[in-house]
Structure 1
Amino acid sequence: MAGTIRLGTAGWVFEPWRKSYYPEGLKQKDELAYSSARLGNIEINATFYSHQKAASFENWASQTPDDFVFTVKGHQLVTHIKRLKDVELPLANFFASGVMALGKKLGPFCWQLPGNSSYDETRMEAFLSLLPQTPLALLALAGKTDYGKNPPYLDVTGIARVRHAIEVRHKSFADPRFIAQLRAHNVALVVADTADWPYADQTADFAYARLQGAPGAESYTPAERDQRAQWLRAWSEGKTAPDAPLVTDAADAGAARDVFAFFVSTDKEHAPDNARAVMATLGLKGPSE
């Protein structure tokens, strides 16, 4: 038995894709519908820069197939400005801003730390303890909002699970204590697949990967892409990915995991094609195919 593997991209609006991925003449307003029919998930990055309105989330959700999921990047106020310190109110405001309007299409939240943010065990524990793990806990924390720009959106209808992943970049996080903290809170360590952070320890009942180009390179060769496909399959089966670097000793959990994987960043121009190629390797199809 294996969990569900979803392949996708970070975002869906990217000018070069209109020459290589999207059909000629496709209107920009139809690009999300086109991508979501062919991919398993998309990471929303706009939420990192500013709070988005509930109407925007509702609109995005309405354009996608039933079996489709968005993951949501956490706001920079939490991760980059306050650096996880004293963030209960910023978290409440973020969760109340409209993200819950995705309903059943809400996937994990991804909290991406700046590259110069080093490991602080106490601060990390405080942050992880704040993260809501159930829809009711999400609603309770969002209810503490003082966000006055728009009416808060406080409705968890359709949301079955609340999941969190954290992406770190500083080498000080290659610490067994950090891995243990994530496992204790069921928070996934983002597999960034970079030279600075190549580690692939699995710390939750799901896996989250942001595939940015083989470590030290700007893109993936077909062989490297196939290797990542094997990683995703292994994680979905509750196994350790073959040849993936680890902070701690490998330990197969045995339980199936859902996998959320995205081709992002450096080789963004080829991200949709990379995602589609890995889907083909794994025998996966888009929700409308």
Structure 2
Amino acid sequence: MIVVGLAGWGDHDSLYVPGTAAKDKLRAYGSHFSIVELDSSFYAVQPPDRMARYAAETPDGFGFVVKPYQAITGHLRGKSYYDNDDDMYRAFRESLDPVMSAGKLIAALFQYPPWFDCTKDNVRLLRETKKRMEGFPCALEFRHQSWFAPEFREKTLAFMRDEDWIHSVCDEPQAGDGSIPIILEATTPEYTIVRMHGRNVGGWNQNGAPNWREVRYLYDYSEDELLEWKDRISRLASQSAKVGIIFNNNSGGHAAGNAKQLMRMLGLPVYELPVDNPPEQLDLFNL
């Protein structure tokens, strides 16, 4: 099974009837896509009652990919909301419980920063993290090339398989150590995630700029670039029962259109908003 969706649901205006309230957008999003990445959890662990509401507002068969709070993956630069790791992980697990109970949790997505390189200490941290998340499906995404350097590539994949990490395969610019190549290998038989970050090489490493997030994900995939992924997705689908594809190129409003373009290429049904009938033209010769 192949499903396609977006990172977040609030910023994709083309999916909604004008005037749709923010509180109604997730329900409407579920008519277009059956998977979504929850990013708000990166900035603060979401309350369980809110997560329960998200689960209730989405149709059967819908799935969430949930990013952990940024202190968990080492992104946080300031002070954490939590006094210790035990409390932090406990809060995150409690947040996931309602979605997990509803059968709608695809994975908690542990995306590590560009400075998280392939070292013994970091491998040890990944093992500890997986133990803390026991009982929850977890996906792993790297942002440092060392994990897939020739001398470590097979060891990294073997480690992920042994530890039951879902592989988050990335399409992203090849822009030095802070980006990873496309590795078309499933690491669990149940699920593989693909994240489409765009290919903005010039903007990828500008994380010192005030608007670096907007610049990094500013990209519109061409038809040829999406066609490249048709065969790649088929290859991943032969290795795992489900493949979930997330478009993260949100900055310019291209993600939803690219996602639906790929769905058509894959032969998946695409829902479009109904178009109002145009006003009837006056027939001057049939009065």
Q: One fold, TM greater than 0.5?
A: yes
Letter in 2 for 1:93: A
Q: How does 1:121-136 map to 2 (within 5 A)?
A: 121-131=120-130
| Matching residue of 2:50 | 56
| Matching residue of 2:91 | 93
Give 1:172 shift. 1.4
Residue 10 of structure 2 is aligned to residue 13 of structure 1: yes
Determine the C-alpha separation between the residues in 2 that align with 1:193 and 1:124.
23
Determine the C-alpha separation between the residues in 2 that align with 1:23 and 1:118.
44
- Contact in 2 for aligned 1:125/1:181 (Cα 8 Å): no
Larger displacement relative to structure 2 (193-202 or 101-110): 193-202
Computed over aligned residues only, the root mean square deviation of the Cα atoms, in angstroms, reads 2.8
Determine the C-alpha separation between the residues in 2 that align with 1:178 and 1:117.
14
- Contact in 2 for aligned 1:10/1:44 (Cα 8 Å): yes
Give 1:202 shift. 2.5
- Unaligned 5+ segments in structure 2 are 78-83, 203-218, 274-287
| Matching residue of 1:281 | 265
Deviations 1:10-43 (A, max 9, x none): 10011xx32x332223232221111111112001
Give 1:87 shift. 4.8
Give 1:204 shift. 2.1
Q: How does 1:210-221 map to 2 (within 5 A)?
A: 210-214=195-199, 216=201, 218-221=219-222
| Matching residue of 2:31 | 37
Determine the C-alpha separation between the residues in 2 that align with 1:268 and 1:62.
30
Give 1:90 shift. 3.0
Change in Cα spacing, 1:222 to 1:267, as seen in structure 2 (3 Å) is farther
SS of residue in 2 equivalent to 1:209: strand
| Matching residue of 1:109 | 108
Letter in 2 for 1:216: V
Q: How does 1:62-73 map to 2 (within 5 A)?
A: 62-73=56-67
| Matching residue of 1:227 | 228
| Matching residue of 2:70 | 76
Deviations 1:65-98 (A, max 9, x none): 1111111111111112589xx95553233112x2
Determine the C-alpha separation between the residues in 2 that align with 1:74 and 1:99.
10
Give 1:53 shift. 0.8
- Contact in 1 for aligned 2:116/2:122 (Cα 8 Å): no
Choose which of 188, 193, 196 in structure 2 pairs with 1:208. 193
- Contact in 2 for aligned 1:68/1:287 (Cα 8 Å): no
SS of residue in 2 equivalent to 1:190: strand
Q: How does 1:139-150 map to 2 (within 5 A)?
A: none
Larger displacement relative to structure 2 (181-190 or 213-222): 213-222
Give 1:281 shift. 1.6
Choose which of 152, 156, 159 in structure 2 pairs with 1:181. 159
Matched residues, percent identical? 24
Q: TM-score, normalization: structure 2?
A: 0.74
- Between 1 and 2, higher relative CO (CA 8 Å, sep ≥ 6) is seen in 1
Determine the C-alpha separation between the residues in 1 that align with 2:132 and 2:237.
21
Determine the C-alpha separation between the residues in 2 that align with 1:133 and 1:277.
39
Give 1:233 shift. 2.2
Determine the C-alpha separation between the residues in 2 that align with 1:288 and 1:99.
31
Determine the C-alpha separation between the residues in 2 that align with 1:268 and 1:232.
25
Give 1:265 shift. 3.6
Aligned pairs, number:
238
